[in-house]
Every structure is written in structure tokens, then in C-alpha cells.
């Protein structure tokens, strides 16, 4: 029976991860001012707008931060965790579950940026057209993170700035997110 739970949990991670990725992409695309004429941006907008448009009446943007996208991504993480706890028969503490979902959303955003920077770096190694929609999107998304280190960690022909940012994001996951997740997990279980 444990194998079936593992398989179902894996499928939940894929489905809810894809949904969360869509709304996190909308969040960071708006925050980074991604070109709306990019076909990838139009895809993201088209599939998130039916959910976000009604919420934005209640939760307007704060500066360039789409609060409605944050709430929807957080709700996706919350529902995923709730289903996972229900599968194993645990009744979680409501406050702990909400905090755990918020920490997992923060971890998801950090992991999202790690993947985008890695993909952007790989695309830069190959002869990828700079005007390709995915390359333009990745370039716009990583620019705010790379701006502080751009040109400062260059050795010969290699720019180690992206690697420094990747190391910083990974350390943030290990030193900030993991302890918070452990505390929230204890709170969820009432320990």
C-alpha cells in the first residue's frame, strides 16, 4: 500500500507543481516586466488570467507584485499538502499547515529561479538565438538577480556571476527554508 501512496504523491507533486509553476511564472514575469508580446508571456497570461482577474479586484497589485498570483500559488501548495496529509490520515494543525504552505511556496520560488538560471546558463553556452522567445523570457527573469554580480566575477572569458547566484539561492534554501520547514512541520503535527 505504501507504494501506491508514493505513486499518488508523486502524481500530486507533478500536477500541483505544474499549476504552481504557471502562477509563479505570472508573478515573476510581472515583477520583472517581461515583454508581453513574447508568445510564452501571452500563453502564461491567457491561462492564468481567468483565475487571477476576479481576485485582482479584491487583491490589487502592490507595486509590481501580483498579490493575487501569490495567493493562488499559496492555495495550490496548501491544497497539495492537505491532500497529502489526508492520504496518510493525519489531521494537521490549520495554522501550521498555512505556514508550511507559505514556506513551501518560498522554497518553490527559489527552486524556480535556480532552474531558470541554470537553463539560461546552458542556453548561453550553445548557439541559441538571443531573440528566441524562451531565451528572451529567461534573460528578463534572471536579469534582476544577476545585475549585482554582472561583470564582477569574470575570469578570462567566463562569467561566474550566475554560479555565485546559484550558490546563494541554494544556501538560502538550506539555511533559511529548511529550518523554517522543520519548525512548521512540528507545528502542523502539534509537536
Q: Where are the domains of the chain?
A: 2-189
The DSSP call for residue 34 is: -
Helix (H, G, I), strand (E, B) or coil at 138: helix
Give residue for cell 493525519: 90
Percent of the chain residues topping a pLDDT of 90: 68
Helix (H, G, I), strand (E, B) or coil at 178: helix
pLDDT-wise least confident of 47-61, 65-79, 128-142: 128-142
Has residue 89 got a pLDDT over 70?
yes
Any residues with CB less than 8 A from the CB of 2 and at least 6 apart, and which?
A: none
**From CA 45, how far away is CA 140, in angstroms rounded?**
16
Q: How far is CA 78 from CA 94, 102, 104, 133, 156, in A?
A: 10, 8, 9, 32, 47
pTM of this structure: 0.91
- For position 126, what pLDDT does the model report? 82
Mean residue pLDDT of the chain comes to: 92
**From CA 71, how far away is CA 102, in angstroms rounded?**
10
Run of H or E residues at 159: strand 158-159
- Contact indicator for 30, 61 with CB cutoff of 8 Å: yes
Query: Rounded to the nearest 5 degrees, what angle is found at the Cα of 188, between the Cα atoms of 182 and 191?
Result: 75
- For position 107, what pLDDT does the model report? 97
Has residue 16 got a pLDDT over 70?
yes
The DSSP call for residue 155 is: E
- Contact indicator for 117, 26 with CB cutoff of 8 Å: no
The DSSP call for residue 38 is: S
**From CA 148, how far away is CA 47, in angstroms rounded?**
33
Query: Quick one: pLDDT band at residue 1, thresholds 50, 70, 90?
Result: low
- Contact indicator for 105, 77 with CB cutoff of 8 Å: yes
Run of H or E residues at 122: helix 94-125
Amino acid at each position: 500500500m505504501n507504494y501506491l501512496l508514493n505513486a499518488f504523491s508523486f502524481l500530486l507533486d507533478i500536477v500541483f507543481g505544474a499549476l504552481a509553476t504557471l502562477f509563479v511564472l505570472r508573478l515573476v514575469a510581472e515583477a520583472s516586466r517581461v515583454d508581453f508580446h513574447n508568445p510564452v508571456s501571452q500563453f502564461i497570461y491567457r491561462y492564468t488570467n481567468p483565475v487571477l482577474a476576479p481576485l485582482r479586484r479584491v487583491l490589487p497589485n502592490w507595486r509590481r507584485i501580483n498579490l493575487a498570483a501569490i495567493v493562488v500559488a499559496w492555495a495550490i501548495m496548501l491544497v497539495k499538502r492537505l491532500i497529502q496529509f489526508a492520504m496518510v490520515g493525519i489531521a494537521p494543525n490549520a495554522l501550521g499547515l498555512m505556514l508550511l504552505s507559505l514556506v513551501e511556496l518560498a522554497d518553490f520560488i527559489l527552486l524556480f529561479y535556480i532552474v531558470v538560471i541554470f537553463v539560461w546558463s546552458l542556453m548561453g553556452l550553445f548557439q541559441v538565438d538571443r531573440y528566441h522567445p524562451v531565451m528572451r523570457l529567461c534573460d528578463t527573469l534572471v536579469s534582476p538577480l544577476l545585475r549585482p554580480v554582472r561583470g564582477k566575477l569574470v575570469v578570462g572569458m567566463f562569467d561566474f556571476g550566475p554560479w555565485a547566484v546559484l550558490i546563494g539561492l541554494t544556501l538560502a534554501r538550506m539555511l533559511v527554508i529548511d529550518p523554517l520547514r522543520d519548525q512548521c512541520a512540528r507545528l502542523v503535527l502539534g509537536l
